[in-house]
Amino acid sequence: MEPQPRIKKLSIIIPAYNEGRTIHRILNKVRAVELPLGIAKEVVIVNDCSKDDTEEAIKRYQAAHPDLPIQYLAHEINKGKGAALHTGIEHASGEYLIIQDADLEYDPEEYNDLLKPVLSGFADIVYGSRFMGGNPHRILFFWHSIGNKFLTFLSNMFSNLNLTDMETCYKLFRTDIIQQIDLKENRFGFEPEVTAKVARIPNIRIYEVGISYYGRTYEEGKKIGWRDGFRAIYCILKYNIFTAKRKMFKNGVFQS
């Protein structure tokens, strides 16, 4: 076990598209979380050119809750979730960062579960798995679950990892590592791309912990579709087989 890392700040990256109706609810949950060891929170919201009042809702929240540090960024054109994550990651200033969807499918109270293997000195990256542990898991779509497990299986085949949930939103990264990776995918291909690339970093320590999942239906605002599943297959093959290691990092070589 390595010495416990000193973490002063956790950056919480929130990509947002047409979430004006509910974004205050997820921000309330983020604000309520008490992180261990006095770790501070930095919320980085990237509005991906929403067509509703997402921007107004965020600014109202900022004004009403100055105790929660919120860095607000906006795309002038819609680029996709992956592109919003690229922007948020670039602007993160915490030693670690976690990805948080703007909807209510994931519970910020579980940040501390993901931080545990990091604070114990074991992990550089932690994935939150919807398919392990005894946490609550909303029952929804059979074929979605089969698709997620197939994509994880295919990703594991090429990355030589043994993840149970590659497609999970909750991914906790050491910020200096993720900021060095040259990420390309602008939509939901972010998940297989980042997994393929972190798996190839020498001596990287990846852990997985069980999390809850309060999934949404399409009527409730779920956005991912079957086309994104085919794109994920393409990304698994592209970034595990056809992308040279030297192209993975922004400066050509990973600096540990």
Mean pLDDT of 189-218: 90
Q: Give the pLDDT score at 254.
A: 74
Q: Which domain holds residue 171?
A: 9-247
Q: Are 1 and 77 in contact (CB under 8 A)?
A: no
In sequence order, what are the residues at sequence separation of 6 or more whose Cβ sits closer than 8 angstroms to the Cβ of residue 240?
155, 158, 159, 196
* 253 falls within a domain: no
Q: Is residue 3 part of a domain?
A: no
More confident of the two residues 1 and 5: 5
Which CATH number covers residue 216?
3.90.550.10
Q: Is residue 137 part of a domain?
A: yes
Task: Quote the CA–CA distance of 62 and 25 in Å, as a whole number.
Answer: 13
Least confident of 26-40, 75-89, 205-219: 205-219
In a domain, 67, yes or no: yes
pLDDT at residue 188, rounded to an integer? 85
The tens digit of pLDDT for each residue in 51-96 reads: 999 999 999 999 999 999 999 999 999 999 999 999 999 999 999 9
What is the pLDDT averaged over residues 26-52?
97
Alpha-carbon torsion angle 162, 242, 81, 215, nearest 10: -30
The count of C-alpha atoms lying within 13 angstroms of the C-alpha of 202, restricted to the half-sphere facing its C-beta, is 6
Q: What is the DSSP string of 109-150?
A: GGHHHHHHHHHTT--SEEEEETTSSS--B----HHHHHHHHH
Which residue shows structure tokens 């592209």?
238
Contact 188, 151 (CB under 8 A): no
Task: Judge whether 180 lies within some domain.
Answer: yes
Over residues 2-28, the mean pLDDT reads 91
- The predicted model gives 87-114 an average pLDDT of 96
Q: Assess if residue 208 is contained within a domain.
A: yes
Mean pLDDT over 202-212 rounds to: 96
- Amino acid code (one letter) for 90: E
Q: How far is CA 225 from the centre of its chain?
A: 18
* Averaged pLDDT for residues 214-235: 68
Give domain status of residue 82, yes or no.
Answer: yes
pLDDT at 218 over 60: no
Residue 103's pLDDT band (boundaries 50, 70, 90)? Answer: confident
Encode pLDDT of 88-100 as tens digits: 999 999 999 999 9
Query: Domain for residue 193, yes or no?
Result: yes
Mean pLDDT, residues 121-147 taken together: 79
Using 50, 70 and 90 to split pLDDT, how confident is the model at 50? Answer: very high
- pLDDT score of 240 more than 80: yes
Task: Evaluate if residue 255 carries a pLDDT over 80.
Answer: no
The DSSP result for 178-245, as a single string, is: HTTB-----STTHHHHHHHHHHTSTT--EEEEE--B----TTTT----HHHHHHHHHHHHIIIIIS-G
How many domains does the chain fold into? 1
Instruction: Grade residue 226 by pLDDT with cuts at 50, 70 and 90.
Output: low
pLDDT value at residue 139? 55
pLDDT recorded at residue 36? 95
Burial of 211 from C-beta contacts in 10 A (0-12 / 13-18 / 19+): buried
The strand pair at 96-99 and 125-129 is best described as: unpaired
Q: Cα–Cα distance between 142 and 94 in angstroms, integer?
A: 38
State yes or no: pLDDT of 1 exceeds 70: no
Asked whether the predicted pLDDT for residue 250 surpasses 90, the reply is no
